[in-house]
Amino acid sequence: MPSGRSRTRVLIVDDSASVRQTLKAILEEDPELEVIGTAADPFAAARIIQSQVPDVITLDVEMPRMDGITFLRKLMSQCPVPVVMCSSLTEQGSETLLQALEAGAVDVILKPRIGVADHLAEARDAIREVVKGAARARVSARRPAPPRIRPEQKLTADAVLPPPSGKAMSRTTEMVVCIGASTGGTEALREVLEALPANSPGIVVVQHMPERFTRAFANRLNSICEVSVKEAEEGDTVMRGHVLIAPGGKHTLLERQGARYLVSVRDGPLVSRHRPSVDVLFRSAARCAGSNAVGVIMTGMGDDGARGLLEMKEAGARTFAQDEATSVVFGMPKEAIARGAADRVLPLGSIAGEVLRATAR
């Protein structure tokens, strides 16, 4: 948000009048957000942008006259603005949204399901947080960050499982890596995972994304990485050369059976306003893996994962945080660093190598 402006200015672009109206109402419930206009297609949006450039744009994928991906690419080449893609919950839409993230969109939200009260009650906070996080994102040059607010009380990982006992964990023959990311994380994770060889240690990832999108994200990574990547399912074994992506809408925990690790995928309340939550994954690693684990916290808004990374460090794990210069949003890593949770602060390009060194026997 430019300095001197009290609210983040948002432009809503969607061909559905009901979606535009609902999104506008949700965003304007927050005193830090101001909807400066709505547009039914990219051409109408371009006219608004000519008169006042918004801080954030929410952009539909399928629209008349010009689709959202084409408009996004034009926008990022001519007038870079943080863009949040807004889509319905479809497998085909998930693939398109991944293309949008690769083209420069900073995050994704689901279209609010009008008339579904339970969905709206939970989704409205997430939508506003994503939009405010996008305002902090760097798309071409650093943007001054708006004042940080402290919203309503957040649940911690205590809501899902108790804190680590503090007992030393015996080492096994294998290490496990836990990674957490949010805004900007899809492309950052791609860079890290692409750099890993096929015999890398087993990895579990929490990337804040809506349900179904995580499966498409995992499939895309699997097609370009040497390691095998899939969306995590209940009871999956964490093993060398494999990466498990936590499914959207579910918490994913690390568990230990003898000398092997597996994941538990379960329901539960939002933790740090997220499900899946990085804090939940990291706490589970601290409890069952201890010094057999490596924790990595990457780009993203908020503080999800900061407390959990400290718990991992206190349990003997090696811990890393992405640095400010390479983070799209330096929120989650900054909070972890401030708590003393990171052994080292690393640029994005160094994370894969440090993970391999930390897990070498």
Active-site hit among 208, 242, 251, 274: 208
Contacts of 69 (CB under 8 A, 6+ apart): 61, 96, 99, 100, 103
Answer whether 62's CB lies under 8 Å from 142's CB: no
How far apart CA 230 and CA 13 sit, in angstroms, is 32
The two three-digit tokens of residue 242, written as one number: 């494999």
Active-site hit among 94, 182, 272, 327: 182
DSSP structural state of residue 143: P
Active-site annotation holds for 158: no
The answer for 41, left when phi > 0, alpha when psi is -120 to 50, beta otherwise, is beta
How far apart CA 199 and CA 239 sit, in angstroms, is 10
Displacement of CA 291 from its chain's centroid (Å) = 26
Active-site annotation holds for 251: no
Active-site annotation holds for 60: no
Active-site hit among 279, 304, 323, 327: 304
Contacts of 6 (CB under 8 A, 6+ apart): 32
Question: What is the set of active-site residues?
Answer: 182, 208, 304
